Structure 1
C-alpha cells in the first residue's frame, strides 16, 4: 500500500470500551479501544502523550464517530463526537 493511501484520514464509528492493554508485560495498562464492525483497536488523540490519561476514557460505553489515521493497531483521532447508538 502506498504511503499516500495509508496516511489518508478516515472516519470510523463504534463503541468505546476499556480493556487491558499489553497483558502480562511491564507495560500492562488500561487502554481505550474502539469496537467497530471492522474490529477493535486502541484509540487516542493524535499528537497526545501516550503516557498521559486518555480523555476518551470518559466516554467509555458510548458510541462515537472519529476522524483520524490508523497506524498498525492504534487509531489516532484528530476529532470525535458522540453519536446515538443506532447510528454506530
Structure 2
C-alpha cells in the first residue's frame, strides 16, 4: 500500500511572456511562460481550463508564484504581481 506524499510547494519569481508552444504540431498554441533568472517554463493555474490561462493578461509583468513543478509546467496555486527588479 502506498502512502500519499504531500506535494512539495515552491516559490518562483520571474517575468511572464507569451510564446508558441509545441510549434509545428497539432498541439501548437500560444503558451504563457515564466522566465526566471535560471530557467524558462510554461506556467498555468493548478486548477481550471488549461486553454484559458488568466496569466496571459499579465504578459510582460513580473510575478511571484507558489505551486508545484512537473517536467516543463509550473502549476501555480497562487500568484501576485511584483515590481520590476531593475
Q: Structures share a fold, TM > 0.5?
A: yes
* 1:38 Cα deviation from its structure 2 partner: 1.8
* 1:50 Cα deviation from its structure 2 partner: 1.7
Gaps of 5+ in 2: none
Where does structure 1 differ by over 6 angstroms across 4 or more consecutive aligned residues? none
Report the number of matched residues: 83
- The answer on 1:56 being equivalent to 2:55 is yes
Q: What is the match of residue 72 of structure 1?
A: 71
Gaps of 5+ in 1: none
* 1:4 Cα deviation from its structure 2 partner: 5.2
The 2-side partners of 1:11 and 1:31 are apart by: 20
In angstroms, what is the RMSD of aligned CA positions?
1.7
Indicate the structure (1 or 2) with the bigger Cα radius of gyration: 2
